[in-house]
Amino acid sequence: MKLLRKITLAAALGVLAATAALAAEPAAIQKNWTAPMHKMLAQALVDDVMASHPELLSLTLQGEPPGHKGVYTMFAGSFPDRIGKVSSAVDVLVITKGYTILDPRWNQDDNPRKSTYLTPLRDKAGQNVGLAVVVFKNPAGTNKSEKEFFLAASEIRDKLAQRIPSHAALFGPAAQP
């Protein structure tokens, strides 16, 4: 029951944040971090997941880069121009509290249609090391339920965890083939 309350609270906060964002004027992407010149393990993981999951619209990883306490940023993702983007208040809630937010984009006019899941990113030891935002394509006529999308997002997160030795390793160089 406690988990259900956390999910409900997180969903409510997500709706509030989304409503506020819709009311605001579009702004340039605000960045607070610059990735190193080498390809990081985190980016290699995103690239691998995107290549093996054509049902995904995007995947981003967010959190605190080493040595940047209190700086929450997108550090890897399927849209490289957004790397370094400041994390939203809802993203920070997932990163710091470990909530999972299910956003099926119900009654939204998204083009393309999508279903979004914000879930804690974990390492092999099960420690929270950030946030994974998993966005699925949800074309008209898809009969996939919210539960099915949730389970698929959880599976992606869990498989990522198996490949993450530690928080610091995410920012280290990706292994060369």
Query: What stretches of 35-123 show up as alpha helix (H) in DSSP?
Result: 41-52, 89-97
Let me know if residue 8 belongs to a domain. yes
- For residue 120, tell me if it sits in a domain: yes
Would you say residue 156 lies in a domain?
yes
> Do the domain assignments include residue 10?
yes
Distance from C-alpha of 138 to C-alpha of 90, rounded to nearest angstrom? 22
How confident is the model at residue 103, as a pLDDT?
A: 85
Do 99 and 6 contact (CB within 8 A), yes or no?
yes
User: For residue 164, what pLDDT is reported?
Assistant: 98
Residue 15 lies in a domain: yes
Give the total number of structural domains in the chain.
1
> Percentage of the chain with pLDDT > 70?
84
Examine residue 175 and state whether it is found in any structural domain, yes or no: no
Q: What band does 141 get if pLDDT is binned at 50, 70 and 90?
A: confident
Query: What's residue 163's pLDDT?
Result: 98
| pLDDT at position 112 | 83
Nearest 5°: the CA angle 110, 152, 145 is 60
54: domain range? Answer: 2-24+31-170
Distances (CA, A) of 16 to 3, 10, 11: 20, 10, 9
For residue 47, give the amino acid letter.
D
User: Bigger pLDDT: 105 or 147?
Assistant: 147
Q: Which residue, among 139, 159, 175, has the nearest Cα to 59 in the 3D structure?
A: 159
Specify if 176 maps to a domain.
no
Residue 58 burial (10 A CB sphere; 0-12, 13-18, 19+): middle
Which burial class, exposed, middle or buried, applies to 153 when counting CB atoms under 10 A from its CB (0-12, 13-18, 19+)? buried
The pLDDT of residue 13 is above 70: no
Q: What's residue 1's pLDDT?
A: 56
CATH value at residue 19: 3.30.450.40
Percent of the chain past pLDDT 90, that is, above it, reads 69
- Residues in a beta bridge with 86: 73
pLDDT of 6 above 80? no
